[in-house]
Structure 1
Amino acid sequence: MTVFMEAVAIGLAIAAPVGPIGLLCIERTLHHGPARGLATGLGAATADALYASLGAAGMGVLIGWLTALATPLALAGSALLLQLGVATLRRPPADHAANTRDGGSLLTAYSSALALTLSNPMTILSFIAVFAGLAGGRAPGGGQALLMVLGVFCGSALWWLLLAYGGGRLLARLGLRGRRWVDRACGVLLIGFAGLLAWRVLG
């Protein structure tokens, strides 16, 4: 179980830094409740697990293929971030309870976060390096690789659970004006992340 717990810590460390998915989780928790925020985070956790599975397998052909697609995927991710940021800025302030009852789909929240996280295929290289260290420099066996992937998913999912339901209680206490400022901050930061990603790719 040591490898599993180490992989949980890795998944938690990968998910915890504030980034575009974290901002989306906060924004969706604020407007639609913790379930939408958690669905967003689970989309990111699924993408982490998918890349972790490729990293654990050490599939050289797929690695080269994903690396070749890094630029168009990154640009697509940048465009998605820009769209989400602009939509967040343009959204009018509304009552939290009404937003929680708003339609919307958990599947949409999940799939958009999954697509956004998958737009950074270079993540697989970091998983390969980390898993090589966990496996003592050798390709992990089937059982060990499965524990690593499950650990990464559980660690990442744990962070999103804490953020959606723990942070959601704090966000629920904000007034309309306070929630509007959170929207503005999230929108500006999402647009900033979009610009930064595009600059890294094209610069």
Structure 2
Amino acid sequence: MENSRLFVEAALIGLAIAAPVGPVGLLCIERTLRQGAATGFVTGLGAATADAIYAAIGAAGLGTLIALLTRLATPLALAGCVLLLYLGIATLRRDAASHAARTASVHSLPRAYSSALALTLTNPMTILSFIAIFAGLAGARTPSLADSVLMVVGVFAGSALWWLLLAYGGGRLLSRLGARGQLLVDKACGVLLIGFALLLAWRTLAGWH
């Protein structure tokens, strides 16, 4: 029963972390519209994997690695901004014909996964959040290896559930917009991705100075 509770709580945390609309959510929507729900879901799995990696580091309490990633927070964040800017511009430059073609392929899935993974990993301050979260889940005791694994798996499962719902549920709703409506949503995602890139760059540089 205790293990079940711990898993459910960690899964809810993973779901809560993934659910707010952000850059990866926009990518998931855009790729679902352009390449299908499978590509959108795989995009989300890239983000879920990054969350699980940072959750594992936080659960393990690897002080040296945490300190290193904290020192690299600014360059990593700026790298993420560049990636966001590239993805946003690429989305805006895509014409109606290429959008209608729905160019999903087996080769596009690894790219979708790796780009979302890289984008999420460029936010190393997430580790500090997971340290605080896991401390709350574990209570006064130090979590065992089994508990740590259970929490990390729970975070991944909760995050993956959100991306599954967004890609297949949200994608089905958006498909009713028709070709023109889908193209407008696609372009809006591109504009918002560029906006996120500029906002995050400004916040990063303001904090750096």
Q: Is the 8 A contact 2:15 2:161 kept in 1?
A: yes
Mark the runs of 5 or more structure 1 residues left unpaired by the alignment: none
- One of 90, 94, 100 as aligned partner of 1:91: 94
Q: Is the 8 A contact 1:56 1:139 kept in 2?
A: no
Larger mean CA deviation between 175-184 and 142-151 belongs to: 175-184
- Aligned residue in 2 for 1:54: 57
Q: Is the 8 A contact 1:96 1:172 kept in 2?
A: no
SS in 1 for 2:97: coil
Larger mean CA deviation between 63-72 and 132-141 belongs to: 132-141
Partner Cα distance (2:106, 2:155) in 1: 31
Partner Cα distance (2:37, 2:99) in 1: 12
Partner Cα distance (1:92, 1:69) in 2: 37
Letter in structure 1 aligned against 2:38: A
- Aligned residue in 2 for 1:75: 78
Partner Cα distance (2:146, 2:104) in 1: 43
- One of 25, 30, 37 as aligned partner of 2:28: 25
Q: Which 4+ runs in 1 deviate beyond 6 A?
A: none
Q: Is the 8 A contact 1:36 1:109 kept in 2?
A: yes
Partner Cα distance (2:99, 2:175) in 1: 7
- Aligned residue in 1 for 2:152: 149
Q: Is the 8 A contact 2:99 2:183 kept in 1?
A: no
- Aligned residue in 2 for 1:123: 126
Structure 2 length-normalised TM: 0.93
- The structural deviation recorded for 1:176 is 2.0
Partner Cα distance (1:144, 1:101) in 2: 39
Asked if 1:44 corresponds to 2:52, the answer is: no
Partner Cα distance (1:76, 1:99) in 2: 29
SS in 2 for 1:161: helix
How many aligned residue pairs are there? 203
